[in-house]
Amino acid sequence: MGIVHHSNTVRYMEIARVAWLEEHDQPYTAYIESGHHFATTRVEVDYLRPVRFDDVVDVTVWLDWVRHASLQMAYELCVDGLPIASGSTEHAAVDTDGRAVRMPRERRDAMRRLAVRRGP
């Protein structure tokens, strides 16, 4: 069919999220080294048009909101300036055993300064 499978949209969002963290906050590896992870708890995608195999997908990502132990990222995906999808992901801060934990205050405060909204 020449169309990229819809599940790849979530991969594009994940790659953009990790790059955003590195550019605006800190590398994801720094969270791992401190014993923290962000487990994905929700993914929402609105598909607007298909992506072809040779398309270059541009992803705009931003931090929408931050709580004590969770956050939401939002995304707009475009090809040649035309929207192909939009979406959001929610993440829970967890420790290395997968238990929900509060983000350290300094990390949470730093991220809140980057957020479009402070909370849902």
Strand (E) or helix (H) holding 66? strand 57-66
pLDDT at 119: 56
Residue 120 confidence (pLDDT) above 80? no
Q: Is 18 exposed, middle or buried (0-12, 13-18, 19+ CB in 10 A)?
A: middle
Tell me which residue of 82, 84, 89 sits closest to 18, measured CA to CA. 89
The structure tokens listed for 115 are 């957020």
The fold of the 8-114 domain, in CATH, is Thiol Ester Dehydrase; Chain A (3.10.129)
Per cent of the chain over pLDDT 70 is 97
**Would the pTM of this model clear 0.95, i.e. be above it?**
no
Distances (CA, A) of 11 to 26, 38, 42, 53, 84: 20, 15, 14, 15, 14
Hey, where are the domains in the chain? 8-114
If you average pLDDT over residues 11-19, what whole number do you get? Answer: 97
Q: What is the pLDDT of residues 43-81, one digit of tens each?
A: 999 999 999 999 999 999 999 999 999 999 999 999 999
